[in-house]
Structure 1
Amino acid sequence: MATLPEYAIIVAGGSGTRMQHDTPKQFIEVAGKPVLMHTIERFYKYNPQIRLVVVLPQEQLNAWRSLCQEHSFKLFHMTVPGGATRFASVKNGLDSVYGEALVAVHDGVRPFVETATIKAAFEVAATYGNAVVTVSPKDSIRELKGEGSTAVPRDKYKLVQTPQCFQAGILRKAYEQPEQEYFTDDASVVESIGESITLVEGSYRNIKITTPEDLILAEAFARELG
């Protein structure tokens, strides 16, 4: 069987609000360059032939072009304007995926995803139609109930990360439906058309850079990789 082409849709629609920063979080520098450049490099390291689609808010496209020039960032990628929601942004990114393919959807602010994780996700998606990267919770979990809360068994829960990989036909079909409030990620969109989700083990290093504390960790991880 011929190997399917691989795409990565990197969704980078964030602002700097929770970061208490004027710069959108995907453009904040870690180890001397914007977070988003680190993320793109991880996918290129995994597969230099991967087709990269970077989805950014329309008003950030020029700033991104300037940053690429400033940092002499030459790794080839397409840029696509995002939508009002993550769902709409992924849908816009999907328009740049042609024919049968395997598609990874990844958060632009997860710059430390390991190449082994990306590889495992693509391989599992090729076999089962999808693969969603998760890790086990480290902390105890309580479920809120009415006025109080109850302890729940931690081993029955997983924390969802990205990439989330899919066969293109399945992902397109899922994104043809209207957006729903309970769509929090691609797995929930695909599950809603009757697909069973397959989980792949992720890594605690695959952090999503969202708050100022995350930047401290990011600098430490980048130094180790450097």
Structure 2
Amino acid sequence: MPGTITRSTLRQQIADALRDEVLAGRLPAGRNFTVKEIAEQYGVSATPVREALVDLSAQGLLDSDQHRGYRVHEFTPADFSRMVEAQALLVRGVFRSQAVGGAHDVGRVDMKSVRRRAEASRRAALTGELDVLIGYDLRFWRELCDILGNAYVTDFLERIRVHCWVYCVPPLRALGRLDGLLWAGHLDLFEAVERGDCAGALRVIDGHHEHALDLARRLAPSDGS
């Protein structure tokens, strides 16, 4: 785990650090730990650690065990498939409503920043740089959703994508080389949104959905469990 946390917002800093550990697979699914263990690791009191763990539990990343502390949640192949379906329904619904209601005001969004995230995500996906991709991918979708101006959609979609990455990371690492395997349509989606091409954006989203379902089949345990 990382070294001592020193900044003042301990609750959020610890929650962010632990979420990164889970995303990277360094805190693997099923891993048990206690408030005391994490507090000693970061050199802080138990209170902000307990608060951070409660936050992560609310996000669905940890399970609370009354007698054993906390455990990293274990997502199943069935969970992943459902999350992929939920993401597709959410994103398609948003873009369909945009097509009916007209384009959203993008004047308040830094489109250059979103493009940079899209380009960086695409490069990382094509070269198989998993850790780099996860960070850029999450920021890309958050900034892209800011264009839509609906914080509930943004937060819900980020939660789904975090859960998807948590499930995918361990089996992806086991595959070794990932270049050409990961979805790299971020820039295509951004450019469709930028030019107001809702039909084009929906085609990219459909492609992402199919890619995710194919990836689910590849990553599923061979015994189907």
Report the TM-score, using the length of structure 2 for normalisation: 0.26
Q: Which has the higher strand share?
A: 1
TM norm structure 1: 0.26
